Structure 1
Amino acid sequence: MGEQEAKYERLRALHAREGAFVIPNAWDAGSARLLSGLGFEALATTSAGYAFSKGKRDSFAALSRAEILANAGEIVAATGLPVSADLEDGFGEAPEDCAETIHAAARFGLVGGSIEDATGDPSDPIYDMGLAVARVEAAAEAARGLPFLLTARAENFLWERPDLDDTIARLQAFSEAGADVLYAPGLPDIAAIRTVCAAVDKPVNVVMGLTGPRYSVAELAEAGVKRVSVGGSFARAALGGLMRAAEEVRTQGTFDYAEDALPGAVISAAMDQGRAGDRR
Structure 2
Amino acid sequence: MRAMARHFQGLHQAPGILVLANVWDVGSAVLVSRLPGVRALATTSAGMAAVHGLADGERLSVDQLLATLAVLTRSVDLPVSVDLESGYGQHARDVADTVASVIELGAVGVNLEDGLPDEAGLSPLTVHAERIAAARAAADQAGVPIVVNARTDTYWKGGGPAERRFLDTVRRLSAYQEAGADCVFVPGFPPIGLKAEQQRRMIGELVAATDGVPVNLLLRPDLLPIAELSRLGVRRVSVGSAVYRLAMASVREAVTALLSSGQPAVLGAAEQLSYRDLAAALAGPGADLTTHEG
Return 45-54 or 186-195, whichever deviates more: 186-195
Partner of 1:135: 131
- How far apart are residue 228 of structure 1 and its match? 1.0
Structure 2 CA distance for aligned equivalents of residues 121 and 46 of structure 1: 17
Contact 1:118–1:126 at 8 Å: present in 2 too? Answer: yes
Measure how far apart 1:42 and its partner are.
Answer: 0.3
Contact 1:106 1:147 in 2 (8 A): no
Deviation digits for residues 149-188 of structure 1, max 9, x if unmatched? Answer: 1111111112143611101110111111111111111111
Verify the 8 A CA contact 1:154 1:184 in the aligned structure 2: yes
**CA positional deviation for 1:121:** 4.7
Determine the structure 1 residue equivalent to 2:172. Answer: 170
How many Å separate the matches in 2 of 1:164 and 1:51? 31
- 1:278 equivalent in structure 2: none
In 2, the alpha carbon distance for the partners of 1:122 and 1:52 equals 19
CA distance in 1 between counterparts of 2:177 and 2:266 reads 47
**Distance in 1 (alpha carbons) for counterparts of 2:269 and 2:16:** 33
Decide whether aligned partners of structure 1 residues 192 and 68 sit closer, same or farther in structure 2, where only a CA change above 3 A counts: farther
Q: Does 1:214 align with 2:223?
A: yes
Query: 5+ residue gaps in structure 2?
Result: 289-294
Q: Offset of 1:57 from its aligned partner?
A: 0.8
**Structure 1 residues 1-280: aligned runs within 5 Å:** 4-39=1-36, 40-60=38-58, 62-122=59-119, 125-144=121-140, 145-161=143-159, 163-187=165-189, 188=191, 190=199, 191-200=201-210, 201-209=212-220, 213-261=222-270, 262-272=273-283
Q: Say if 2:9 and 2:146, in contact at 8 Å, map to a contact too.
A: no
Instruction: Check conservation: 2:57, 2:85, Cα contact below 8 A.
Output: no
Shift of 1:37: 1.3
Offset from partner CA, 1:44-89 (integer Å, 9 cap, x none): 01111111111111122x1111212222222212211110000110
Between the aligned partners of 1:73 and 1:194, the Cα distance in structure 2 is 38
SS in 2 for 1:58: coil
Q: Write the distance in 1 (CA, Å) between the matches of 2:83 and 2:151.
A: 10
> Is contact 1:87-1:113 (8 Å) kept?
yes
- Report the CA distance between 1:108 and its aligned residue: 0.9
How far is 1:256 from its partner? 2.7
Q: Quick one: distance in 2 between partners of 1:66 and 1:83?
A: 18
Percent identity at matched positions? 35
The offset of 1:120, in angstroms, is: 1.6
Superposition TM-score, scaled by structure 2 size: 0.86
Alpha-carbon offset, residue 146 of structure 1: 1.7
3-state SS of paired residue (1:205): strand
Q: Secondary structure at the match of 1:194?
A: helix
Structure 2 residue identity aligned to 1:255? P
Contact 2:57 2:118 in 1 (8 A): no
Deviation at 1:213, TM superposition (A): 2.4
Q: Deviations over 1:23-58 (max 9, x none)?
A: 111101111111011120100011111111111111
Partner of 2:291: none
Separation of aligned partners in 1, 2:267 and 2:259: 14
With normalisation by structure 1, the TM-score equals 0.90
C-alpha RMSD of matched pairs (Å):
1.8
Number of residue pairs matched by the alignment: 268
